[in-house]
Structure 1
Amino acid sequence: MDYLFVGLGNPGSQYTATRHNIGFMAIESLLGVYNCSAPKLKMQGLFTRIKLPHCGLIFLQPQTYMNRSGEAVVRFMEYYQVDLDHLVVLHDDIDLSFGRVKIVANGGAGGHNGIRSIIQHVGGKTFSRMKIGVGRPSSKGNQKDIPVDKYVLSRFTAQEQVLLEKIYWRIGDAVDILLTQGVAACMNEINGLPIVD
């Protein structure tokens, strides 16, 4: 059976490389790891599908805007007959420090509109999430007093951009563990790691 890996973000150049689009960025890094062909547009999403010896992988970036991500996700799940336990959603998390990656087997939306949309459309919440920490606005410096909604649509600092490649490596490791050993082993291995620095 295929695994569907969904990276959340917003289409359009004004959102490129923003914190809220870290899910899109993570999928782009995974396309390189698995030597995928260029994504194609289908059913409201940019996607690539490959076959591995033990399973198939579908990488998806919904093009519906964040708040309607579930519309594309459910269409791909139905078309490729992907079960909820084979759905993995990669997304930003402001409650995790930048440089932290956390795997969660199921749960609520936690205030994330993209996750909320997916739960509504797929009819359940027992899918895996790969939460990628983007942190909250700093109380000092040029981030002081930035509202959270504007903060997540801001771009990474130069210092953070240097660390993104290490974060992508951790995400790649997490995907490999999830595929070969399961989500529980992935949680045990990845969630206890120190912040990438």
Structure 2
Amino acid sequence: MKCIVGLGNPGLRYAKTRHNIGFMVIDELIKRHKWSLQKNKFKGHLTKERVSDEQIILLKPQTYMNRSGESIKELMDFYQLEPEDVLVIYDDLDLPTGKIRLRQTGGHGGHNGIRSIIDQLQSKQFNRLRMGIDRPKESVSVVDHVLGKFPKSDKVSVDQSIQKAADACETWFEKSFQEVMNEFN
């Protein structure tokens, strides 16, 4: 069983913001496979599907970003998942908009969603797919930047990164995470 988690904040106020790009990748996977999310399980929206011989869970925590780890920990405990069975998709200020990077471990890098996951799991060992959102301009705070929507000028690169991230997730359905990193990094 593999679990793909897209991080974001619930509600229309946050839809399509940079901080919700993890949700956008989950939405793309849902659309591609014509799946649907069930509500209110493990403090999140999820679906459990079968792809070939693999059970796949897609999760969008509804705890707000700073408490994402609560939702993930509940799901992992219920299904007895190991950290290597989980892939977390999230926004990253240190990557240019449109770029993606996969890695198997690391710190939180100041990202409160990742900090929450590390705190809940008591481990840094889980798969990550980082989605570039670039740093804010000097006159914009980090909070305003991550909670802001992408400008129209970034639409093409953002859409391409969401497609590429969804492709990477689908590749992980069939291959090891190391192979996915080799192919998409």
Q: Deviation string for 1:53-103 (max 9, x for gaps)?
A: 221111111111111111110000111221111010000000000010100
RMSD of the TM alignment (CA)?
1.3
SS at match of 1:131: strand
Larger Rg: 1
SS at match of 2:5: strand
| Aligned equivalents of 1:66, 1:82: Cα separation in 2 | 21
| Aligned equivalents of 1:36, 1:99: Cα separation in 2 | 26
* 1:29 corresponds to: 28
* 1:78 corresponds to: 77
Pairing of 1:41-56 with structure 2 (within 5 A):
41-56=40-55
Cα 1:45–1:38 shift into 2, 3 Å: closer
Partner letter of residue 5 of structure 2? V
SS at match of 1:47: strand
Check whether the contact 1:105–1:127 (CA below 8 A) recurs between aligned residues.
yes
SS at match of 1:91: strand
Pairing of 1:41-190 with structure 2 (within 5 A):
41-138=40-137, 144-190=138-184
Check whether the contact 1:103–1:131 (CA below 8 A) recurs between aligned residues.
yes
Alpha-carbon offset, residue 16 of structure 1: 1.0
Check whether the contact 2:51–2:173 (CA below 8 A) recurs between aligned residues.
no
Partner letter of residue 188 of structure 1? N
Q: Deviation string for 1:90-129 (max 9, x for gaps)?
A: 0000000001010011111111110110111112111100
| Aligned equivalents of 1:176, 1:59: Cα separation in 2 | 12
SS at match of 1:189: helix
Alpha-carbon offset, residue 17 of structure 1: 0.7
TM-score (norm 2): 0.95
Gaps of 5+ in 1: 139-143, 192-197
Alpha-carbon offset, residue 162 of structure 1: 3.3
Alpha-carbon offset, residue 40 of structure 1: 2.2
* 1:12 corresponds to: 11
SS at match of 1:109: coil
| Aligned equivalents of 1:38, 1:173: Cα separation in 2 | 19
Partner letter of residue 181 of structure 2? M
Q: Deviation string for 1:2-39 (max 9, x for gaps)?
A: 11111111112211110011111111111112221243
Alpha-carbon offset, residue 164 of structure 1: 2.9
Identical pairs, percent: 39
Gaps of 5+ in 2: none
